[in-house]
Structure 1
Amino acid sequence: MQDNAQQEEKVLTFDDLGLKKEILKSIKFAGFTSPSPIQAQAIPVVLAGRDMVGQAHTGTGKTAAFSLPALHNMKLDGSVELLVITPTRELATQVSDEIFKYGKNLGVRTVTVYGGSSYKRQLDLIGRGANVVVATPGRMLDILKKNMLPDFAPSMVVLDEADEMLDMGFLDDITEIFSYMPTDRQTLLFSATMPQPIKTLAHKILENPEFVSITKGETTNADIEQLYYVIDEHERDDAIIRLMDSETTKKSVVFCRTKSEVDRLSNVLSNAGYLANGLHGDMEQRQRETVIKGFKSNSVKVLVATDVAARGIHVNNISHVFNYHIPFDPESYVHRIGRTGRAGTKGKAITLLTPLEFKELQKIKKIVGTSMEHAFVPSKNDLRQTNIDNIVKSIEDQKIYDEAHLILDKLKEDIDEETIMYKLISMILNKQDIKGPSNIGIPADKLQAILDRASKRGGDRNSRGRGGNRRAGHRNSRGRSGGSRDGGSRSSRGGDSRRRSSNRH
């Protein structure tokens, strides 16, 4: 009976949600059939016209969760009916492109509004009959305060990635933007986390909202394999290179704590033969755009970035995320690893840490509720074996060119066939240069002894009081000495300059 019931259980599809046929056609063209959890919960609420708070991590399909029902409800009368506010121009561009993709069969016109570009061009595009405006807070507020769009009255306003806007210092701007919005509107707020300032904002701008949230167990994506490697502090560069050499990375992001660390590590990885480039808040906007364009087009395969600079970058084919240092807080960890494992693909998140950082690891595991497995950095011998297996497969899959027999015939004039094969394979092996020491990381027996001692010290510190925390305090100050974090440097500049500088991140 139970098996029959499970067989009869219907899988929800987009067809079941009652969306217009033009939208369903776009969804099917994009290759989607079943809605993600956040989409299945949010779309009926939005279709019904309710205000809503949606909590879900990045990569779960939030854009479709609000844009599909918004497109369905549009009158398409030539006015702006949907305003989406996003923290960065990169995210604004991507959200606008996605909404256009879903609404193209309805003839929906979208415009992206952000700083650093011509006011006139953006206003002209809106005046030509835009239905959707996707904007960053600073430029949108400037347009509203200068009354450049006198009849601007969207019936739906979406605040996307609200917690990221809080981190970037946009909360006052957001509050002021909503003072210009019509009171008779539908408002949606999406956020990966719900700190108290976001809850307060939601109370101000939403009316009797429906709360839609994924479960705690889904805070981090189940499609992401999460591993951590315990190393000594001086081994970080060797470890990151060895892991990249041993992993089948298609496109990856390496997160660093500081801007100076981004610059240094991107040079280290470039010198090691990787197509790497850095991204941080001190770069000019033109530089940032060039790096991001290269990352999307595969001319950059490894993006080395700070947390703030990488926010708003949502690329679906990122196979790996590397944490060069363990993040300072659990929310940053969730944001970081959410860059991989998107759109139903598998991803891998790798974190490097020292024994002194186990406390931060346990905090993340406890609060996030995630499953992180310990692994050992491959030795040179391990990597050699992996390389041999890869070479065998490459040779088996290699296409044979017509000219190959000409080269083989010439070689056979002086060398026997077996020696030819050995020489050709040796040529391949000669290119497999494995950098770094033979072994990287703390071996199992030493690691267990360290953990045992740490456990005993933890008990002693609890009995002695605060005196046992001096080592951790020293570690924290030393960890920040390489340069100020993006977040730290922003907070020291005050509210107005923080908002002005945020477009660089």
Structure 2
Amino acid sequence: MSDFDMMGLDDALVSRLTAMGITEPTPIQARAIPEALNGHDVMGLAQTGTGKTAAFGVPLITLLSRVGRKPARGTVRGLVLAPTRELAQQIAETLKALTEDTPLKVAIVVGGVSINPQIKRLERGIDILVATPGRLMDLMERRAVDLGSCSFLVLDEADQMLDLGFIHSLRKIAAVLPKERQTMLFSATMPKLMNEIAQSYLNSPRRIEVSPPGKAADKVTQVVHFIAKAAKTDLLIELLDSHRDERAIVFGRTKWGCEKLAKTLEKAGFATAAVHGNKSQGQRDRAIAAFKSADVRVLVATDVAARGLDIPDVKHVYNYELPNVPDAYVHRIGRTARAGKDGAAVAFCAPDEMEELAAIQKVMKSAIPIASGRPWQPIEDPAKPAARKGPGGAAGKPGGGGARRNRRGGRGRSTARKAA
């Protein structure tokens, strides 16, 4: 008998979990599922790739199945909110697999596609609706969805919803939900504003924290190259060339920059696709499908792909440009080392990105090992005590010779290949 059996789950649901390769619960699942099944609100904090979707999906499906009634026309019984289309799609796929051959109906509503088919789908009534806040607000304004009988609310990756400015939408959506409901909130990081969400939407929640906020996946190896901005593309091509048969995700900051980089990598002979906000939903879906099937080996993306991509065989993540929001780094590198596998995360740091690197290391509470080059300016190691100030008020010299400016980018070919 597995731990899932001991939770009192339906045999058919346990069988579906097994068919999906989920035979034993992860730490977040083992602690969150029993609390949710007992009717408690749950606030789950766990790093990416630890099975949060099943942690809320299993109790949601179980509790809805126990009620036994069908949703009325135009109504929703359970609502799952996600910040991006890709994450919403991933959640919906998992929930549909978990509800296969059951009466429960799962639907998804996201932007970037026609709203009319979504309106028609909602007319029949939905057991579990997975939605992005913006599209759900559009549907609410058209009076195409009734949330008045929704008894379950799940906020997944709630920290990113704050980063993307969805707090006002969340307030409007929560205002039309019944006060008597069960709410589950899941996140990989814990910004200060999360307490406001917890206090506003959760009732005496059970807080479950299986890893410190900001902690990377256990089996991901991280390195940073201090390199001039103009030399980044050459280094990236060199590193990608050392593992052409393995999947890699390359993260950039801007839509234009990612599109340009993808075309450059294609010219260099790599099977490449791009995912960013200027792509239609169909284009993004096709790019991700090609990446999953390994027809495409390199995916160049903005942070729209930093969450929601659950592809176990991604071996490498490249931070071609460091993110402005340090928590985004944790989610980016969480695309590798998933499902207990190993992975590598490589960061490129140009002179104007030292502040971003310092912020990332502060959030992670550890210094990222240096693969090549030297820091462009002194940077404090968050794992060490702060340096004492001398008589003149200046801090002591940092270790490792990092105070000198690295004018050449300092990378060597042998070092770069070793880091790959």
Q: Which residue of 2 aligns with 1:19?
A: 9
In the alignment, the residues of structure 1 paired with residue 310 and residue 290 of structure 2 have an alpha-carbon distance, to the nearest angstrom, of 14
Partner of 2:40: 50
For the residue of structure 1 that corresponds to 2:118, the secondary structure is helix
Larger Rg: 1
In structure 2, what is the Cα distance between the partners aligned to 1:249 and 1:229? 23
Q: Corresponding residue for 1:128?
A: 124
**Does residue 1:321 correspond to 2:317, yes or no?**
yes
In structure 2, what is the equivalent of residue 263 of structure 1? Answer: 259
Structure 1: runs of 5+ lacking an equivalent: 1-10, 376-440, 467-474, 476-505
Residues 464/281 of structure 1: CA separation in 2 closer, same or farther (3 Å cut): farther
- Structure 1 position 15, deviation (Å): 2.1
The alignment partner of 1:196 has SS state of: coil
CA distance in 2, matches of 1:464, 1:16: 62
1:351 is matched with 347
Given the two structures, how large is their TM-score scaled by the length of structure 1? Answer: 0.69
Task: Say which of 334, 338, 341 aligns to 2:337.
Answer: 341
TM normalised by structure 2 equals 0.82
Q: Deviations over 1:287-337 (max 9, x none)?
A: 333433332333322111222454443333322100113333431210110
- The Cα of 1:465 is off from its aligned counterpart by 7.7
Report the counterpart of residue 73 of structure 1 in structure 2: 63
Percentage of identical aligned residues = 38
2:95 maps to which residue? 99
Tell me if structure 2 keeps the 8 A contact 1:254–1:302. Answer: yes
- Residue 241 of structure 2 corresponds to which residue in structure 1? 245
Q: Which amino acid aligns with 1:188?
A: M
Aligned to 2:30: 40
Mapping of residues 269-284 of structure 1, within 5 Å: 269-284=265-280
When residues 459 and 142 of structure 1 are mapped into structure 2, their CA distance, relative to the original with a 3 A threshold, is same
> Is the 1:76–1:108 contact (alpha carbons within 8 Å) kept by the matching residues of 2?
no
1:152 is displaced (CA, Å) by 4.5
- Post-superposition Cα deviations, 1:162-187, rounded to whole Å, max 9, x if no partner, equal 11111222110111001111111101
Deviation, structure 1 residue 12: 7.2
Q: Which moved more, 1:44-53 or 1:147-156?
A: 147-156
Distance 1:462 1:59 in 2: 48
Corresponding residue number in structure 2 for 1:427? none
Q: Within 2, Cα distance between the matches of 1:258 and 1:148?
A: 34
Moved over 6 A (4+): 450-455, 458-462
* Alpha-carbon shift at residue 203 of structure 1 (Å): 0.9
1-side partners of 2:114 and 2:133: how far apart?
A: 16
Q: Is the 8 A contact 1:281 1:309 kept in 2?
A: no
Shift of 1:372: 3.5
CA RMSD of aligned residues (A): 3.1
Paired with 2:171 and 2:377, the residues of 1 have a C-alpha distance of: 51
Q: Structure 1 pair 70/277, CA: closer, same or farther in 2 (3 Å)?
A: same
1:410-462 CA deviation, whole Å, 9 max, x = no partner?
A: xxxxxxxxxxxxxxxxxxxxxxxxxxxxxxx54xxxx5xx789889xx99999
SS at structure 2 position matched to 1:292: helix
> Compared with structure 1, are the counterparts of its residues 295 and 460 closer, same or farther at alpha carbon in structure 2 (3 Å cutoff)?
same
- Picking from 61, 70, 79, the partner of 2:51 is 61
CA–CA separation in structure 2 for the residues paired with 1:88 and 1:330: 18
Are the equivalent residues in 1 in contact too, given 2:48–2:217 (CA < 8 A)?
no
Alignment of 1:400-415 (within 5 A): none
Distance in 2 of aligned mates of 1:351 and 1:117 = 34
Give the distance between the partners of 2:370 and 2:92, measured in 1 at CA.
40
